[in-house]
């Protein structure tokens, strides 16, 4: 592969990775709050909390990739309309804010005592995170649709890197309870606009070599 071609592929891969990183991070602010809350509970080990979130991240990516393959029959110039999904989700959350309702379901109470911290407890923790990851799936699916393998790997790598960084941040935030209130406000007012913005990026994207099989 010539140097100009290699540079082009590298630039495209970095671009895809950047979008994937922003997309995954913006749809996991709620999970960051949950991670922080669980990390602050007695008995939960920081390492296992991090590994659980990384496991959930990989699950979300694999589900998104499977859904992306399910739309393989769509023309390349139509796939971008899947970006309407995060746009609709963002608009719905804004509507909830306008009418004074809380968006999304709340996580199960974190104040209930746990007799033991075992595998099944962490599986339950993972289910809580997965229940809050539908927005991640809705935004990662159109991003992964029809990408070449090298760019799929870039998406996966970027999202996993974000998951590692967010789990480390959550561990730090767990030691500062006052930060939870700030994060809740951030998730409530910023997340809907981030979803709409990323959705617009997907919808307005024109077919390029990235989406050519």
CB 144 within 8 A of CB 68: yes
Q: Considering just the CA atoms, what is the radius of gyration of the chain in Å?
A: 18
Give the pLDDT score at 158. 93
Q: What pLDDT band is residue 163 in, cutting at 50, 70 and 90?
A: very high
- Give dist(CA 163, CA 89) in Å, integer: 22
Q: Hey, is 186 helix, strand or coil?
A: helix
pLDDT higher than threshold 80 for residue 77? no
The single-letter DSSP state of residue 61 is H
Q: What 3 state SS string does 116-143 have?
A: CCCHHHHHHHHHHHHHCCHHHHHHHHHH
* pLDDT single digits (tens) 19-60: 889 989 988 887 887 788 777 766 778 788 889 999 999 999
Give Cβ neighbours of residue 51 (< 8 Å, ≥ 6 apart): none
| pTM score, whole prediction | 0.65
* pLDDT single digits (tens) 120-159: 778 877 887 887 787 888 888 888 886 777 788 989 999 9
Mean pLDDT of the region 179-185: 60
Q: What pLDDT band is residue 160 in, cutting at 50, 70 and 90?
A: very high
Give Cβ neighbours of residue 63 (< 8 Å, ≥ 6 apart): 137
Mean pLDDT of the region 189-199: 73
**Average confidence score pLDDT of the chain:** 75
Nearest Cα to Cα of residue 195 among 96, 125, 62, 106: 96
pLDDT higher than threshold 90 for residue 70? no
On the 0-12 / 13-18 / 19+ scale of CB atoms within 10 A, 27 is buried
């Amino acid at each position: 592969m010539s140097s100009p071609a290699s540079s082009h592929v590298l630039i495209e891969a970095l671009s895809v990775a950047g979008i994937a990183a922003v997309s995954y991070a913006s749809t996991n602010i709620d999970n960051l709050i949950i991670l922080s809350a669980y990390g602050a509970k007695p008995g939960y080990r920081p390492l296992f909390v991090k590994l659980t979130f990384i496991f959930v991240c990989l699950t979300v990516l694999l589900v998104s990739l499977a859904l992306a393959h399910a739309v393989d029959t769509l023309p390349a110039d139509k796939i971008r309309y899947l970006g309407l999904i995060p746009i609709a989700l963002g608009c719905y959350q804004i509507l909830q804010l306008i009418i004074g309702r809380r968006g999304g379901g709340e996580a199960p109470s974190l104040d209930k005592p746990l007799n033991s911290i075992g595998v099944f407890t962490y599986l339950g923790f993972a289910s809580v995170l997965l229940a809050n990851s539908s927005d991640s799936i809705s935004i990662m699916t159109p991003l992964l649709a029809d990408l070449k393998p090298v760019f799929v790997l870039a998406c996966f790598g970027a999202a996993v890197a974000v998951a590692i960084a967010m789990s480390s941040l959550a561990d730090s935030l767990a030691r500062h309870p006052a930060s939870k209130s700030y994060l809740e406000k951030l998730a409530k007012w910023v997340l809907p606009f981030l979803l709409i913005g990323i959705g617009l990026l997907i919808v307005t994207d024109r077919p390029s070599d990235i989406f050519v099989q």
